[in-house]
């Protein structure tokens, strides 16, 4: 009897230890295995230098531009690169960060929703933290509520960058219930965003909202991160606000007209846009991330 009881206790301890290891070691499938070759890292006294060319090594998947960041690091600091616009300031409030993706149309927003006793209020069209009297959405832990007057729809399984026929979409004005944006995995106790697209209609402008993760870089929960873009970028207030966006000091050039994805066979050129980012002899480093995770880079030797 004692042996049986001891074996049961041992089995429970082993099971508990295995479950704990599973929870601790669990990682979300974010990022990419793509490797990027960086060539021609040179700068002069000019302010229109071609700083580098970037291409994938070997077989590579297409990467969604709205989930990419490309930056150059010099002795003067770190500058974002884009097709025309960049964030003036990533800080959108005490509890909100908002960074414009290289596509110049999509913001990646992270909300510090760690306070379970109060909400963080966000004006999504203007990409700023605000108050209960003037907000689009409010956040607390996993709870996301839309403000009265916001109409919304959820397209299950629809990719963030996939085309949408708005005439086929039925919008709801029910904002009393929290937004059903995640699933909870009891096996590993993780919050996982649903694979789908939310459409929000605010003052006759339709926006896309797609959740990316619930965790920050330290794998701490209560930091929901999502992408946000307008169906008609010209009507997106944040893109017309000099306090939110500014012309890119580091331009991304490509012969590909597609600004949805960095295609596997596509080569990019990074160019100073009339701003002296680095001078002769300065060390320049290119930093790339996808879905918030670093992308491996290899600097090619000069030929």
Percent of the chain with pLDDT over 70: 90
CATH number of this structure's domain 35-84+248-299:
2.60.40
With residue 81 as reference, give the H or E element that holds it.
strand 77-82
> 191-204: string of b/e by CB count within 10 Å (b at 16+)?
bebbebbbbbbbee
Q: Which pLDDT score, from 0 to 100, does residue 4 have? A: 53
Report CA-CA distances (Å) from 257 to 59, 103, 210.
21, 11, 24
Q: How far apart are CA 277 and CA 76, in angstroms?
A: 7
With residue 187 as reference, give the H or E element that holds it.
none
Q: What is the pLDDT of residues 31-74, one digit of tens each?
A: 999 999 999 877 788 899 889 999 999 999 999 999 999 999 99
Q: How is 144-157 classified by DSSP, letter by letter?
A: EEEPTT-EEEEEET
Report the chain's mean pLDDT, rounded to a whole number: 90
Comma-separated ranges of CATH 2.60.40 domains in the chain: 35-84+248-299
Question: What is the model's pTM?
Answer: 0.87
With residue 91 as reference, give the H or E element that holds it.
strand 91-93
With residue 290 as reference, give the H or E element that holds it.
strand 285-290
Q: How far apart are CA 43 and CA 276, in angstroms?
A: 9
Sign of CA dihedral 122, 124, 125, 129: positive
What is residue 94's DSSP assignment? T
């Amino acid at each position: 009897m004692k042996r049986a009881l001891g074996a049961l206790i041992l089995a429970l301890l082993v099971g508990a230890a295995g479950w704990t290891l599973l929870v601790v070691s669990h990682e979300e499938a974010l990022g990419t295995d793509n490797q990027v070759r960086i060539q021609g890292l040179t700068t002069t006294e000019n302010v229109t230098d071609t700083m580098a060319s970037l291409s994938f090594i070997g077989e590579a998947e297409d990467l969604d531009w709205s989930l990419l960041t490309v930056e150059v690091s010099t002795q003067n600091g770190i500058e974002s690169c884009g097709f025309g616009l960049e964030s003036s300031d990533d800080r959108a409030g005490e509890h909100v960060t908002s960074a414009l993706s290289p596509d110049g149309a999509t913001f990646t927003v992270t909300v510090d929703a760690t306070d379970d006793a109060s909400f963080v209020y966000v004006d999504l069209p203007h990409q700023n933290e605000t108050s209960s009297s003037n907000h689009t959405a409010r956040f607390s832990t996993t709870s996301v509520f839309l403000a009265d007057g916001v109409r919304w729809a959820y397209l299950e399984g629809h990719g963030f960058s996939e085309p949408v026929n708005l005439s086929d979409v039925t919008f709801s004005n029910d904002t009393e219930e929290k937004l059903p944006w995640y699933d909870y995995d009891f096996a590993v106790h993780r919050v996982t965003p649903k694979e789908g697209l939310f459409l929000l209609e605010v003052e006759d402008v339709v926006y896309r909202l797609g959740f990316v993760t619930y965790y920050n870089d330290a794998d701490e929960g209560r930091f929901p991160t999502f992408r946000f873009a307008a169906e008609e970028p010209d009507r997106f207030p944040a893109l017309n606000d000099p306090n939110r966006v500014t012309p890119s000091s580091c331009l991304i050039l490509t012969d590909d007209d597609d600004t949805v994805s960095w295609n596997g066979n596509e080569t990019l050129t990074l160019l100073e846009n009339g701003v002296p980012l680095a001078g002769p002899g300065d060390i320049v480093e290119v930093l790339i991330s996808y879905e918030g995770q670093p992308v491996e880079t290899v600097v090619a030797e000069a030929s």
